[in-house]
Structure 1
Amino acid sequence: MVLLGFAVLGSVAVAAPANKPQTVSQVELNRYLGTWYEIARFPMYFQRKCASDVTATYGLQANGNVSVLNQCRKADGETMASQGEAKAVDRTNSKLKVSFLPDGLRWIPFTKGDYWIIKLDDNYQTALVGAPNRNYLWILSRTPTLDEQTYQQYVEAARQQGFDTSKLMRTSHTR
């Protein structure tokens, strides 16, 4: 879910295609929580300063929502972070809405980004996350690296869901 924070601003006024991607049937939020490393992503304005070490850390809040902490390292070595909150859209927990606005402004309509979990392995080690308009896509892993075969399986899953995988750029991790 890394990138929930970075994705919010860009998802405001973009129309989704008629045939939306399919999400996984169920996500156990407690198993999804924790830190995820970004392995690859579509280039986007919100992450333009992220040079490496992109992570998202999720935690369960008392109200049942998910805290989101997105972090990355800029080219000068400085760490950049964004704190947000995600809320499941339905009982499957595979579609979430996320906001990185300050708490008092999160009620404003059209300020939440879509975070759809499209593919997730049974052990909650690798995830494919995108948006219904297909403008955003991330491959995430519990580790900073992912073997090439698994990476290609997730790229193919995205391609089958209608994402233009030629836009994927890999993320470097230095630690």
Structure 2
Amino acid sequence: MKKLVALLALLVGGCVTLPENVRPVSDFRLERYLGTWYEIARLDHPFERGLSHVTAQYSLREDGGVRVVNRGYSARDEKWKQAEGRAYFVDDPQTGFLKVSFFGPFYGSYVVFELDYANYAYAVVSGPDTSYLWILAREPFMDETLRKELVAKAAERGFKTEGLIFVEHE
């Protein structure tokens, strides 16, 4: 039993890490980050596979954390899918490094490493390693020049951006 608990602790704690070459933004303002974000692009993972019209809604929880509601449409199943989770800052609230959980006690990294400080109109987010990447925006579409710039910045940090899925929002 002790080995199982130790393994579980390692797995849970091991998922809240920073990818190499990725540093979270500083001067992060949660109150400006709250609200709806549209997924512009992502690297593929089973939990979002086949989804279009993907959004993330962030709001405050009573315990001081962040309520996370991810929603997307599955054309194959002809229905909307939704997952609700919770997030908490790993270090301090001015650093864009949170841990997020959709499954009980299991947390993963949520690292905001690019951010439009002026308007909070876009963000680039990583998970615990470079196989997780999301480009988010406040609107369902992003200027192509900006999108290419953000993709290039992610590639410079080691993300395999040639595998990006550009999300439909029509």
Tell me the residue number matched to 1:67. Answer: 67
* Higher alpha-carbon Rg: 2
Shift of 1:151: 0.2
Partner of 2:133 in structure 1?
A: 137
| CA displacement at 1:26 relative to structure 2 | 2.4
The equivalent of 2:101 in structure 1 is: 99
Which residue of 1 is the match for residue 91 of structure 2?
90
How many residues align? The count is 156
Residues 15 and 90 (structure 1 numbering): CA distance in 2 closer, same or farther, change over 3 Å? closer
The one-letter code matched in structure 1 to 2:97 is: K
Task: Mark the CA change 1:17 to 1:124 in structure 2 (over 3 Å): closer, same or farther.
Answer: closer
Segments of 4+ in structure 1 off by > 4 A? 11-18
Pairs within 5 Å for 1:37-76: 37-50=38-51, 52-75=52-75, 76=77
> Amino acid of the residue matched to residue 96 of structure 1?
L
The question of 1:161 aligning with 2:157 is answered yes
- Structure 1 residue 64 displacement after superposition: 1.2
Change (3 A) 1:131 1:82: same
Partner AA of 1:97 in structure 2: K
Identical-residue share of aligned pairs (%): 40
The one-letter code matched in structure 2 to 1:118 is F
Q: Give the distance between the partners of 2:136 and 2:74, measured in 1 at CA.
A: 19
Paired residue secondary structure (1:70): strand
Change (3 A) 1:64 1:48: same
Q: So what's the TM-score if we normalise by structure 1?
A: 0.82
* Normalised TM-score (structure 2): 0.84
Query: SS of the counterpart of 1:36?
Result: strand
Q: Does 1:118 align with 2:113?
A: yes
Q: CA deviation at 1:20?
A: 3.9
The more displaced of 133-142 and 92-101 is: 92-101
Structure 2 residues not aligned, in runs of 5+: 1-10
8 Å contact 2:59–2:67 — kept in the other structure?
yes
Tell whether the 8 Å contact from 1:16 to 1:134 is kept in structure 2 after alignment.
no
Instruction: From the two aligned structures, give the one with the greater strand fraction.
Output: 2
Q: Report SS of the residue matched to 2:147.
A: helix
